[in-house]
Structure 1
């Protein structure tokens, strides 16, 4: 029995607030996905570019070739958008229309599905015309490999691998974190993923400083990358692929990739398309030799088109899963406390490791 009418009303109000927030988050995710599908990335003044400028300025102030310094940098750079997102979520807790509008805007900002598919299509068209100079020039929009000596199959392979990995990074993962944590999840994930691209790779400058950013990105993508792999397998028949073969390749080859997450997406894509991915990747001034994923022939332009269609199907499936989760689950209260403590521990522990102890960040 309720001890007082006021308490009962307050409890019901709080419960309805949580329910309203979840439904608003779900509606915002769906609307933001639709905006990305229709409009793609903003042409000018992209907020992610603005965050990159902020992070670069912060790096100039905080950089020291130590892992503890990198952990502090990552905690602050990711913590700022998380705090902003949490403040916006708190301000709109009982205003579902405003919450849905903010989530839609944030989702549109952090997603990159349309742009990814458009770049893949441009690459496919160049290869179909046998215009290798145009294809090599365009590759930089998708990955950081040196295209100078790449032939058509290698350009196609680089494109298919980039589509596979970025379907997770630019579509599935933002939706997952938006469903789990709303505005702070959307903004925090994109900030962490951007930091990983900026400082999370092995180089003389970032071998120590970038460790925390790289490990944070790995942790945030553990679930989304595996969901991407499973959805890729499930959607394989939509591009004339075989689910059974895709499942077999994914189970067999996913752990062979040097990244704990990219292998999930690339192995599933290789199995779904019936091609062989992996091999020798040439970057500017270095190269990597990776195990093969899949059993089929080397990719061609037609496989890029199928990969782009499959990426779109996976995005729609991920939208359905995440919207359903957001609508029926209580949104998480997100703070920066866990993030700061975790990154500080990572940095302190990593400071005692040898430099060779850090796993190399594979280039894309």
Structure 2
């Protein structure tokens, strides 16, 4: 396994590569993205073992067994891949390349910016089409403010679980930790829903995803707060709002980056939302903020994202200093 400072140095390089290159579409049109492969395994398990006529207890047990098998497989692949790469000349470059594949700074920025551009260039329908690519809620029920809030919430939440969390687990456990995290996160995104079909089978995936995201979600919230002065807010006041509102979110993790972003931008985020097949009646994050978000607020959220990513990378660089100085 990689030493902590060495892993931090490789992670800084992976973050820099991801920020510059992102996910090249031409590459993933030719070969499947590893996350897509994890998704195929989840899809197969969902079809074969999550039979609607099975008792709920059995479906929950099958979901637990599947999750354990998925995590074990991801850990094994990560361990073998890291061992092979470390045994090769300049194998650290390969580790950086693999790690960068599972980070999502540039792709997140581009997907959120596409919602803003859709609203500006094509109006509400353009915004709805773009936001449907990054959120699970029903876009037909969103007005311009709803589309904008959905994009901003996705920006905050996916910064936590698409950037900070995979970086955190790579830093702790190298490629095995990174691949295992992405496998769990993929399973949660596909079957970790409180619906009639997935409430039992996806229970383990949802709960374990909550657990592995606990530290990263809070770190993500803290780094987002650094953008407060850009928008005329005080970091201390925003921190107090984040601590007040985040525990009220239906998710034990998403509330932290969302509450931080809401406080920084002066918006009310989260609140009641309609998804495909079910609705949630959640309290707002920063309930005294504006609810009439616009495309301009998406631009402000993207600026906060860039600053948060820079601070996050700087913190990891500080951890990497011992490896740089030896």
TM over 0.5: yes
What is the alpha-carbon distance in structure 1 between the residues aligned to residue 75 and residue 320 of structure 2?
18
Picking from 37, 52, 55, the partner of 2:39 is: 52
Match of 2:248 in 1: 256
Q: CA deviation at 1:316?
A: 2.2
1:72 correspondence with 2:65: yes
1:86 correspondence with 2:73: no
What is the alpha-carbon distance in structure 1 between the residues aligned to residue 64 and residue 280 of structure 2?
27
Q: CA deviation at 1:210?
A: 0.7
Is the 8 Å Cα contact of residues 29 and 103 (structure 1) preserved in structure 2? no
Match of 2:307 in 1: 313
Matches within 5 A, 1:122-271: 122-129=114-121, 131-271=123-263
Moved more, 258-267 or 57-66: 57-66
Question: CA 1:135 to 1:236, structure 2 compared with 1: closer, same or farther past 3 Å?
Answer: same
Question: CA 1:187 to 1:323, structure 2 compared with 1: closer, same or farther past 3 Å?
Answer: farther
Structure 2, unaligned runs of 5 or more: none
For 1:275-320, what per-residue CA distance to the aligned partner results, in whole angstroms no more than 9, with x for missing partners?
1112221122322111011122122211111111211221222223
Match of 1:362 in 2: none
1:31 correspondence with 2:18: no
* Structure of greater Rg: 1
For 1:161-185, what per-residue CA distance to the aligned partner results, in whole angstroms no more than 9, with x for missing partners?
1111011010111111111111111
Moved more, 120-129 or 176-185: 120-129
Q: CA deviation at 1:221?
A: 0.4
1:300 correspondence with 2:297: no
Moved more, 259-268 or 271-280: 271-280
TM-score norm. by structure 2 comes to 0.88
SS in 2 for 1:221: helix
Q: CA deviation at 1:269?
A: 0.5
Q: CA deviation at 1:69?
A: 1.1
Structure 1, unaligned runs of 5 or more: 1-17, 330-364
Q: CA deviation at 1:325?
A: 3.5
TM-score norm. by structure 1 comes to 0.79
SS in 1 for 2:280: strand
SS in 2 for 1:297: coil
Matched length = 310
Is the 8 Å Cα contact of residues 248 and 271 (structure 1) preserved in structure 2? no
SS in 2 for 1:111: coil
